[in-house]
């Protein structure tokens, strides 16, 4: 297989990965695959009721890909989902390489300069993959701790708890710091992008990202759902929402109600520095190494 370019979006869930995947997929030289690793991993026996397991069966005839076709008819996912049940014991990197290698015969990849995007945030195996057939880069996407904690605090499990938001706050802090350490060790080029920068300054953020990937900016990227050529089967429901996905927009709800413990916690220098470094470093052009 000729060398292929693979961009991994990593970070915490609920941080804008799906809308970013769609925006990238609107570029003629980028194909987004959504949370491909989530679908490729072998389902555990107790997860037979979940989407990844059911897509290996009848669900692939019902669930739609963002290309507009049902999964079984999708030129990218159809053959892969039919192949997986008999090959689920293969290592994850081998499965992903097969998926990427099959993109070219379908005509999905336009050239050897094309990028493939994978955005399953919970995977930290692939950033360490050493394979001469794949050029791997990592995009570390992080949402402001105040916005993220507010979003997760609306979860029903937080209601009635003492200091709602305290548990999500510690989760953001612990996992964001861990991800930063892991990506520093992975040996791959890493691009830091804050969700706030992406949503509030989408064109400037996407231009900076395209330059890092060695591509020209494409204006179609500013209309993710309307223009995207991504093939996403797993991800946020915004992928099918024309109203919310016709442009990259910022959810500023947390600003109207305050951010509770997260706002107070920013008085702690270590947390404030981490939030500034991961979310807002692009303003000073320090988002890449």
Q: What is the pLDDT of residues 118-135, one digit of tens each?
A: 999 989 999 999 988 889
- Asked, for residue 216, whether it belongs to a domain, the answer is yes
pTM passes above 0.75: yes
- Asked, for residue 208, whether it belongs to a domain, the answer is yes
Q: How far apart are CA 176 and CA 275, in angstroms?
A: 9
- Asked, for residue 220, whether it belongs to a domain, the answer is yes
Structural domain including 60 reads 4-144+189-251
CB contact at 8 A, 116 and 4: yes
- Asked, for residue 256, whether it belongs to a domain, the answer is no
Looking up residue 219, the CATH number of its domain turns out to be 3.40.50
283 pLDDT more than 70: no
- Asked, for residue 116, whether it belongs to a domain, the answer is yes
How many structural domains does the chain have?
A: 1
- Asked, for residue 95, whether it belongs to a domain, the answer is yes
- Asked, for residue 175, whether it belongs to a domain, the answer is no
149-153, 248-252, 253-257: least confidently modelled range: 253-257
pLDDT given at position 282: 75
178: left (phi over 0), alpha (psi -120 to 50) or beta: alpha
The winner for highest mean pLDDT among 77-81, 112-116, 165-169, 253-257 is 77-81
- Asked, for residue 288, whether it belongs to a domain, the answer is no
Q: How far apart are CA 171 and CA 12, in angstroms?
A: 9
Q: How far apart are CA 253 and CA 30, in angstroms?
A: 32
Mean pLDDT, residues 155-161: 55
Q: Average pLDDT of the chain?
A: 87
Mean pLDDT, residues 218-247: 82
Q: How far apart are CA 278 and CA 222, in angstroms?
A: 23
């Amino acid at each position: 297989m000729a060398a292929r370019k693979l961009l991994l979006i990593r970070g915490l869930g609920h941080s804008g990965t799906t809308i970013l995947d769609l925006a990238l997929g609107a570029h003629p030289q980028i194909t987004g695959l959504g949370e491909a690793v989530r679908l490729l991993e072998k389902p555990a026996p107790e997860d037979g009721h979940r989407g990844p397991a059911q897509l290996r069966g009848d669900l692939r005839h019902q669930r739609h890909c963002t290309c507009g076709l049902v999964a079984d008819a999708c030129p990218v996912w159809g053959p892969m989902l039919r192949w997986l049940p008999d090959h689920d014991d293969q290592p994850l990197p081998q499965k992903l390489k097969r998926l990427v290698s099959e993109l070219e015969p379908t005509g999905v990849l336009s050239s050897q300069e094309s990028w493939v995007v994978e955005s399953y945030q919970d995977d930290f195996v692939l950033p360490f993959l050493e394979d001469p057939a794949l050029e791997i880069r990592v995009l570390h996407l992080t949402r402001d701790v105040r916005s993220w904690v507010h979003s997760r605090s609306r979860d029903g499990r937080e209601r009635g708890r003492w200091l709602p938001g305290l548990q999500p706050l510690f989760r953001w802090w612990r996992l964001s710091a861990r991800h930063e350490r892991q990506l520093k060790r992975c040996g791959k080029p890493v691009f830091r992008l804050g969700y706030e920068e992406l949503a509030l300054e989408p064109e400037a953020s996407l231009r900076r990202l395209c330059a890092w990937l060695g591509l020209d900016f494409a204006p179609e990227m500013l209309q993710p759902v309307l223009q995207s050529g991504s093939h996403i089967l797993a991800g946020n429901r915004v992928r099918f929402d024309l109203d919310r996905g016709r442009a990259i927009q910022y959810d500023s709800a947390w600003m109207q109600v305050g951010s509770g413990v997260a706002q107070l916690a920013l008085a702690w220098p270590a947390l404030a520095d981490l939030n500034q470094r991961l979310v807002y470093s692009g303003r000073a052009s320090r988002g890449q190494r």
